Amino acid sequence: MLAALLLSVLFTPIIKRVAPLVGAVDRPNQRKVHKRAMPRLGGVAIYLSFAISYIGFVQFTDIVATNIGYALLLGGGIIVLTGIIDDIVDLGAKVKVAGQIAAALVTVYFGLRIEDIAVPFTEYTIHFHYLAIPITIFWILAITNAVNLIDGLDGLAAGVSAIAATALLIVSISMGHWMTAFMLVLFIGAVLGFLLFNFYPASIFMGDSGSLFLGYVLASVSLLELKSATMVAFVIPILILAVPISDTVYAMVRRRMNKQSIAEADKNHVHHCLIKFGMTHRNAVLLIYGISAAFALLGILATQVTLWMSILFFIIYLISFGIFAEKIGMVSKEYQPFQQMAQLCKRWFTRTS
């Protein structure tokens, strides 16, 4: 972790100087929070730190390269390259998705895929066969873009990803997946090194090259736990990645209700709503860190408890985040199902009493 962190601390200032020279600058507009032009491409520093430290340990120690390593290096390289081009020339959505699919296919090629699911409370197992490939690609694209969407405040995507990766690291160690744990240690180090420059007030942004890479790594690593799993096993990565996943789901609901395209950007993500709610930039990020850590802890605990407890954790997540989303107005003032349900329950108790 220290090796990857030090490399990230070394590379980030270099990328910070190179980014404006190649036109990779994030300029402020009505949808963004920052007020001045900022260099991006920080994801390049994260990827280089991760890749070089991994290759170094494989070459000069007895650590053996595995499929997960090849997948993250090659697929990660494709997705970082896609992000670099987008950070410089602003690629269209279709081209970006094509790059993400190419990276996802690398993951599938190296055997990381969701192959079957055991149905809870029965002896049945659903085998996906050829459907395993599109299902896996969908999972990778969903998580990758979820992380990309929360990259709206200084240090937010990097911090949330580091928290999620730490939770996945603990789960990997508990299950004896040592090579996965090793990859996650390098990943966390690279992200934390960059976060030193990216936390509020940031001096560099990670850009799509970073947010897409972070999402890709988290999505690919979580596949190891889902390769042959029960339906409840999906609870673990969903809890660990609760904030980006929930933010994406609420964005889709919001845009659908407002009759907007799902791909159309807006300024009502969780971090935007907290700022509108009156929180400072730094406090909004720290609050989301806390929420991410709380749900990540539930995800870790879900690996150690009974099936019913795992389901209970998932229900707690759905209700608590739903109430939180309504309070800060992530969808609309009219869309408040939890508050409406509470009012109905209150009326029912009043009548019966």
- Angle in degrees, 0-180, between the axes of helices 42-60 and 67-89, rounded to the nearest 10: 160
Residue 177 contacts by C-beta under 8 Å, 6 or more apart in sequence? 224
Cα dist from 302 to 233, 250, 297, 317, whole Å: 9, 24, 9, 12
**Cβ(172)–Cβ(181) under 8 Å?**
yes
- Angle in degrees, 0-180, between the axes of helices 67-89 and 178-198, rounded to the nearest 10: 20
CA 175 to chain centroid: 22
**Helices (H) and strands (E) in the chain — how many of each?**
14, 5
* Distance in angstroms (rounded) separating the CA atoms of residues 237 and 299: 7
What is the per-residue burial (b if ≥16 Cβ within 10 Å, else e) of 96-115?
bbebbeebbbbbbebebbbb
Ligand-binding site membership of 29 (annotated) = no
- CA count, 13 A, side-chain hemisphere, 97: 7
Ligand-binding site membership of 208 (annotated) = yes
**Cβ(14)–Cβ(162) under 8 Å?**
no
What is the per-residue burial (b if ≥16 Cβ within 10 Å, else e) of 245-256?
bbbbebbebbbe
Q: Give CA angle at 244 (324, 175), nearest 5°.
A: 110
**Cβ(159)–Cβ(94) under 8 Å?**
no
* Distance in angstroms (rounded) separating the CA atoms of residues 119 and 234: 12
What 8-state DSSP symbol labels residue 61? S
**Terminal alpha carbon distance of the chain:** 60
Which residues belong to the annotated binding site for Mg(2+)? Answer: 148, 208
Which residues belong to the annotated binding site? Answer: 148, 208
